[in-house]
Structure 1
Amino acid sequence: MSPKPKIPKEEGEPKKSLASTRGALTRSFKERDGLGAYTHDPAAFPGSRVIYYNDDFVAINDLYPKSTVHVLLLPRTPLSRLHPFDAFDNPSLLASVQAETAKLKHLVATELQRRYGRFSAQDREREAILNGEKEWEAGKELPVGRDWEKELLVGVHAHPSMNDLHVHILAPDMVSECMRHRKHYTSFNTPFLVDIADFPLAKDDPRRHPRNAEYHQRDLICWRCGKNFLNKFKQLKEHLVEEFEEWKKE
């Protein structure tokens, strides 16, 4: 029997598919370290998950969104392993995160307008022009319409659930199958969510000690109408679906 010819390594080994690469990443970055998979190799994930990436940041759609639009901004820096309050003591990092957050907020606001602009009274003229229902002078800028950007919730949690630094940017509606208990709601509708614009925080800022404030034990208050649901999460969630429809019409 003649010896088998040697096959060069690069030809004999099958190329890894993106699916297998994603699988390896998710096995390596587990549970609280799960966001590290995206910063380590964002190209391994589909466009439905990774919105964009560059040398310094990765923007993704949240795997467990708490609103109809919910994205995360992930800095690609060793400082991202620090608690946000400590990481943002670095002026250079804070400035870059705030600048990139502003860009991502604009993208999210544009997506909200794309999805819901046709329902909004403030976007009515703009939508009529885009749909050809109203004449518009060529070259003239479209009406700006509704300021979706100012309605966004933006910030970091005072006690993050994941180890890697991440900034939340989401619509205020809180309508999602992934919003399953009261903590999901209070995490975004109390000072537990610290706006990125509020940094750097003063050393005596009470938000540095979230346990003292018991944010998750507070009454459940509708973000839009202010109705108090006490601890009745199921009723709040049903109410939020109704408020969502009214919010789109504003």
Structure 2
Amino acid sequence: SASTASSSLLAGSSCSHSTSKTLRQRSASVVATFIDLSGGCPLQHLRAPGRPLELQGHFSTVLLSALSRLDRSDPAVMEHFAHVLDDFALLFDGFPKSRVHLLVLPRKRITSARDLTAEHVPLLRRLAAYTAWIIESLTPQYPDLTWRHGVHVNPSLKQLHVHVISQDFRSPCLKNKKHYNSFQPPFLVSLDSLILSLQGGGEALGDIKEGEAEQWLKQDLKCTACGLEFGNKFTDLKRHLESCRPPASAPLPALWQGGQSATTREAEDSKAVAAPGPPQMSTVTPTATSFEGHAAKRHRAEAWVLVPVARAGCLGLGKPREGLTQSPSAPA
């Protein structure tokens, strides 16, 4: 039965109860919610394919191509995804600029942050929740790493994507000043900044011009951990990064709560667009029953179950199976 199949997946996973309990205690409620949705298991067992995704068409369309192939369940592309949801997907960067470098993609086609409008705020809220869960799940796996997330002001690839990157910048793919500076503010913009701008009635990236942003990539090099300046000496910076301790992690995306009475995504989305209101950071106890954001409501309403992601070494969330009324891990 569907319930039996879901239970066997949970039993076969390597997630321990103690690991789940530790994450619940240290995580924001948004993270606990995604842990509950994934059967109590955090994202784990990252196994990068070791090669970039095969290019089909122009380089700038590689993400669009990856999503199209994911929609078709193309087995050749699945190993490049670390985790898959109905709304979002987590992709290994083909040319990682750090020890861990992942791309969080909405599966809805949006070219870039410059195409975002107020109507996208509910989607961005869910994207922020998913991104926070990813970073929190990675933290115990890589205790020596710190993290930053954000979108590029001037991305080189079509399709909105959020970089989740460790701040060690120790990678042979990090080859020049532009690479390094592109993962520092102000060229890298957090999801919170995008949401605040849109909720304030402005554009997602404010009044930042493309030409202005390109100048930021030419700024002198500076270690983000200790502040040591390197001018244009990229080789010296690379050598320095091998021994310098990475800076503290940047803030996680805030928890963007919807209306308390919403019970489905459509109700919450329509309410958020009609009256977005000020953002709120959650301070409630991290349990699925107390979390009032979108994911827990959707879980209670639709009873999600686990399905394996082919050759990705992880578990992904699938649509409710027909005839299933309650998943084994659904909150009361």
TM-score between both structures, scaled by the size of structure 1: 0.66
Kept in 2: contact 1:69–1:112 (CA 8 A): no
The question of 1:59 aligning with 2:90 is answered yes
Deviation at 1:46?
Answer: 6.4
Secondary structure in 1 matching 2:184: coil
Write out per-residue CA displacement over residues 64-108 of structure 1, whole angstroms, 9 at most, x where no aligned residue: 111111111011013x22x21322532122112112111222223
In 1, Cα distance between equivalents of 2:208 and 2:183: 16
Give the number of equivalent residue pairs.
185
Greater relative contact order, per chain length (Cα 8 Å cut-off, separation 6+): 2
Distance 1:176 1:26 in 2: 21
Residue in structure 2 matched with residue 209 of structure 1 by the alignment: 209
Correspondence 1:52-91 to 2 at 5 A: 52-78=83-109, 80-81=110-111, 83-87=112-116, 89=118, 90-91=120-121
Change (3 A) 1:67 1:87: same
8 A contact 1:49–1:60 mirrored in 2? yes
Whole-Å separation in 1 of the counterparts to 2:104 and 2:91: 7
- Aligned equivalents of 2:95, 2:181: Cα separation in 1: 16
| Structure 2 equivalent of residue 189 of structure 1 | 184
> Partners of 1:176 and 1:167 in 2: how far apart?
19
The answer as to 2:174 corresponding to 1:179 is: yes
Once residues 110 and 51 of structure 1 are traced to their aligned partners in structure 2, the CA distance between those partners, rounded to angstroms, is 17
In structure 2, the CA distance between the partners of 1:105 and 1:175, relative to structure 1 (3 Å rule), is same
- Give the superposition deviation at 1:47: 6.3
Q: Deviations over 1:12-68 (max 9, x none)?
A: xxxxxxxxxxxxx94544310001232223342466521111211110111111111
8 Å CA contact retained: 1:192, 1:207:
no
Query: In percent, how many aligned pairs have the same letter?
Result: 30
Larger Rg: 1
Residue 138 of structure 2 is matched in structure 1 by 108
* Deviation (angstroms), 1:198: 1.4
User: d(CA) in 2 for partners of 1:207 and 1:223?
Assistant: 26
Tell me, in whole angstroms, the C-alpha distance in 2 between the residues paired with 1:212 and 1:46.
36
Matches within 5 A, 1:101-140: 101-113=131-143, 116=144
Query: Greater share of helix residues, 1 or 2?
Result: 1
Which runs of 5 or more structure 2 residues have no equivalent in the other structure? 1-52, 248-332
Q: Is the 8 A contact 1:57 1:75 kept in 2?
A: yes
Question: In the alignment, is the contact (CA less than 8 A) between 2:169 and 2:241 conserved in 1?
Answer: yes
| Counterpart code for 1:52 | H
Q: Which of 89, 92, 105 pairs up with 2:122? A: 92
Distance 1:60 1:110, change over 3 A: farther
- Name the TM-score, length of structure 2 as normaliser: 0.51
The separation in 2 between residues aligned to 1:88 and 1:102, in whole angstroms, is: 22
Give the equivalent residue in structure 1 for 2:229. 228
Matched AA of 2:65? A
CA 1:236–1:88 in 2, change beyond 3 Å: closer, same or farther? farther
Does 2:64 align with 1:36? yes
CA distance in 2, matches of 1:26, 1:111: 28
Instruction: Give the drift of 1:238.
Output: 0.9
* Pair 1:242–1:207, CA change in 2 (3 A): farther
* C-alpha contact (below 8 Å) 2:69/2:77 kept by paired residues: no
**CA distance change for structure 1 residues 174 and 207 in 2, over 3 Å: closer, same or farther?**
farther
Paired residue secondary structure (1:41): helix
Distance 1:61 1:105 in 2: 14
Distance 1:164 1:29, change over 3 A: farther
